[in-house]
A and B are shown apart, each in its own frame.
Chain A
Amino acid sequence: MSDVTAEGGLPEKKKWQHHVGHHFADAENEFTANKFGFWLFLATEILLFGGLFVAYVVFRSTYPMTFHEAHEHLSKPMGAINTVVLICSSFTMAMAVRASQTNQHRRLIWLLVVTLLCAFTFLVIKFFEYKAKIEHGYLPGYWYTPHLPTDPANGNLFFGLYFVMTGLHGLHVLGGIVAISWILVKAKKRQFSSEWYTPVELVGMYWHLVDLIWIYLFPLFYLIG
């Protein structure tokens, strides 16, 4: 705790103070209750994606060659770069939570900005990937209209799951961008301190979960052996 120092430089504005909710015994009680609730939410998120992973396993075990052929139409380098981007953003987010714990306000702000930049980079790369797939007519279901002889047979199975699973993940990235922007605004108002940084902690947990789901999506779609 020796490095808990109020960082100078920024002008001291009207001091914003978080008040512990009256239904909590104290600040510690509030923090653990908030975190407990958020873990419950993350459990529902895991089960939300879980259903899609079950669908994936059922279809891949029935059509292994179809999945193998179709996955070669995805760009492994792009998927790998996106994995690295998300891992780096997870790291900067974890460091941002630490900065809020140690009252390093400026560091918190730039770490959140870097995390946001990574999130946008991820979506931009994803956009170019989607664009290429859509040009090949790989959209799922009714819109699956491949037109080249090299297109994978039965690819709609693979690309249906690909678009739905990475699409839902992409929506979570968008949600993460909104949430991180929100705590960035609060951080700029200097609302977080070592005594109260709950939103940073919880948004951090959410962001790590988004990373965690991608950690499974990447090998399952891009690295089929």
Chain B
Amino acid sequence: MSHDTAQAHESGGRKHHPHVLPVRMYAGVWLALLVLTFITVKVSYFNFGIMNLVVAMGVATLKASLVVLFFMHLKYDEKFNAIIFAGSLTFLTIFFVLTLADTMERGKVDPLEAHELVPVPARPELIDRKTVHVDEKSPLVPGAHGLQVPATGEGLAAPTPADSAAMRGATGGAVESTKAPGESTKAPGGH
């Protein structure tokens, strides 16, 4: 860069003027983050069932929003940067939705079809763990999901009955996926 160009830059062009935010605002956000942390820790000592997860994620999202909007200045930033950020969240959502649309829906077959599917493991590695999960005492595919099954392992590859029960109570939409096909008419998360 020649000296002349540098001169032109320093004198001719727009200078950058920082958008200085008041200390009060930063301190307020800081206090809010500490209070929210305190709340989320306190709440975790009580059992509200599904609400624990909702509160924990709600508080975390509130905290994250405060950090992004005020500490990272996105509220006062170029709108295009907000689009970049929203774009990353959009693609993250697609990632979540498409993956869970697969894993949450596995084993959801018509009870009639399920009868035909279960007894014939032509290629065991292709059989879905949850489809086979009709008889909880005999997991046919112990290596599914890469789990190490200890010598004493009792059905570790398939979700334990406790896991399945907890899902019924805890995670509304996720419920049907772990059920044995025959159960799929029961209403999820009734209590």
Verify A35–B84 contact, CB threshold 8 A: no
Q: Given A43-B85, A88-B30, A225-B48, are A31 and B16 also a contact pair (CB < 8 Å)?
A: yes
Tell me whether B167 is interfacial, beta carbon within 8 Å: yes
- Chain A contact residues: helix, strand, loop or mixed: helix
Verify A27–B163 contact, CB threshold 8 A: no
Q: Which of A116-124, A130-138, A168-176, A189-197 contacts B (4 or more CB under 8 A)?
A: A189-197
**Chain A residues within 8 Å of chain B by Cβ, number:** 75
**Chain A residues in 8 Å Cβ range of B148:** 144, 156
Verify A64–B167 contact, CB threshold 8 A: yes
Interface residues of B in 37-85 (CB under 8 A from A): 37, 40-41, 44, 47-49, 51-53, 56-57, 59-60, 63-64, 67-68, 70-72, 77-78, 80-81, 84-85
Verify A215–B147 contact, CB threshold 8 A: no
Tier of interface size on chain B? 35 or more
Verify A211–B67 contact, CB threshold 8 A: yes
Tell me whether A39 is interfacial, beta carbon within 8 Å: yes
Tell me whether A115 is interfacial, beta carbon within 8 Å: no
Give the residue name and chain of the A residue nearest to B102 (CB).
Answer: A58
**Chain A residues in 8 Å Cβ range of B18:** 101-102, 194, 197
Verify A95–B23 contact, CB threshold 8 A: yes
Q: Given A47-B88, A91-B30, A215-B63, are A225 and B52 also a contact pair (CB < 8 Å)?
A: yes
Interface residues, chain A, with chain B CB atoms under 8 Å away: 1, 19-22, 24-32, 35-36, 39-40, 42-44, 46-47, 50-51, 53-54, 57-59, 61-66, 68, 76, 80, 83-84, 87-88, 90-91, 93-95, 98, 101-102, 144, 153-154, 156-157, 194-197, 204-205, 208-209, 211-212, 215-216, 218-220, 222-225
